[in-house]
Amino acid sequence: MRTLNIRPLLAAASILALTACGLEGTDSQEQETAQSSSDTSNDYGYQTYSDDNLADSMASNDDAADNAATRSGEGVSGDASNMGADNAIPDSEERPTMQLQVVLDRQGFGPGVVDGKMGMSTRHALSGFQEANDLEVTGEHDEATKEALAQYDGIAATRVVTIPDNWGDLEFTDMPESTADKAEMERLGYTSLDEKLAERFHTTVAVLKELNPGGKPAGMENDPADGAGEDASPEGENASSGEGSADTSKSFFTAGQQIRVPNVGADRIEPGAIQDRGWQMTLASLGVGTEQPQVDRIVVSKEGQTLKAYEGETLVAIFTVSSGSSEFPLPLGEWDIVGEAYNPPYSYDPEVLGNDDPDGKTYTLPPGPNGPVGIVWIDLSKEHYGIHGTPEPETIGRAQSSGCVRLTNWDAARLAQMVDTETQVIFET
């Protein structure tokens, strides 16, 4: 994605994140200040896991799982990677590929969308894990790789969570087609609770529905007396709409509902680590923690469709990317990072983008996860080029970009914490 006039705004990046973005974060900050009796840290505008982990209340609680494993002297079993009462519900089936994706994602080797399928992004993630562990790089889940991954066998593929009650107070809005109409919006937020939930767990709405047949976590007995089951569908009694509340009639899931999700982790947010409150809320909503390595070099491969991040000579992260097109090819060479913008607005200029726009008007689009550059812009010394997120995670690696390097929002958020202006950026064939 090529954009315009981002760099001048980055001269005051800290101001940009607060003033230009307005209602920063993944949903209206004012909306997310709604509290429930289960809140553990209501100073942060959303239901957090605990005082020492400012991830949301659906956090993986990896530390508790690790402590449990240490006490027992064994690997974490079943659903122990989230120690709450929700996880007394065992999954109805084993999900080996999803479990592999969850483990790789937690280690920084991004499989893209966690969907239980052995696709291109998962093979890239396997290749990254193999390179980092001095294994033969095959991109396959071969025996040597299985042996190296055996230490993570106790991490479950899924866990059961309860959607925070205060999500019922959020408002979701359909995205208009025209750029002019988008420019009139306050922000380009999520269109439904389902979409917000899918991005939180690095997956798709379709996968969440598969994990929750009839609106219940797979493995839960269907008891009609509890009011769940089919009524959790959009046409069921849990669907509601009206002024002052979320239009959940277009959502399959609802606030307060128990659901099964991919067991993504590495989502701990250390208190005091993030000064920008809006960015902190964004990280929480994406299930991305603050404990990230600081990298010296990132290498984007045009043909390989990957971004590799190195700490010294050690590969510590790999992500599948979309980069460039025939009209706007990836600018090969070495570049500098000149700044970052969290939850940035977007300057739309059809001339810069090469669009055949009859009116030729420029627009400033508001921030939000459904904006053209997603939730973060990492600005490069090559004018109009950067590394950024996307509103369409399923297209990463499968659709061209307008010259820039595009990642899923959750991978872009993770990468943004790894790099700074000292990080070397290399674009290669």
In terms of phi and psi (left: phi > 0; alpha: psi -120 to 50; beta: otherwise), the region of 352 is alpha
Q: Token pair of 383, please?
A: 């004018």
Q: Under a CB-based contact definition with an 8 Å cutoff, are residues 248 and 193 in contact?
A: yes
Alpha carbon separation from 62 to 30, 76, 355 (Å, rounded): 29, 10, 46
Cα gap 395→408, rounded to integer Å: 9
Catalytic residue, chosen from 124, 202, 384, 404, is 404
404 is catalytic: yes
CA distance 55 to 200: 11
10 Å Cβ neighbour count for 247? Answer: 18
Give the CA radius of gyration of the chain: 21
Which one of 124, 202, 384, 388 is the catalytic residue? Answer: 388
User: Whole-angstrom Cα distance, residue 276 to residue 267?
Assistant: 17
- 282, burial (CB in 10 Å: exposed 0-12, middle 13-18, buried 19+): buried
| Cα–Cα distance for residue pair 320/332, rounded to 1 Å | 18
What is the rounded distance in angstroms from the CA atom of residue 409 to the CA atom of residue 162?
23
Q: What letters, b where the CB count within 10 A reaches 16 and e where it falls short, cover 20-59?
A: bbbbbbbbbbebbebebeebebeebbbbbbbeebbbbbbb
Active site residue 21: no
Q: What strands, in cross-sheet order, belong to the sheet with 386-388?
A: 314-320, 306-311, 297-301, 424-428, 333-342, 376-380, 386-388, 405-406, 322-323
Grouping H, G, I as helix, E, B as strand and the rest as coil, residue 319 is strand
Please state whether beta strands 333-342 and 376-380 pair in parallel, antiparallel, or not at all (unpaired).
antiparallel
Element (H, E) at 162: strand 158-162
The secondary structure of 337-400 as a DSSP string is EEEEEES--EEE-HHHHT---SS---EEEPPSTTSTTTTEEEEESSTT-EEE--S-GGGTTTS-
User: Could you give the CA distance from residue 7 to residue 383 in angstroms, rounded to a whole number?
Assistant: 8
* Residues with a known catalytic role: 388, 404
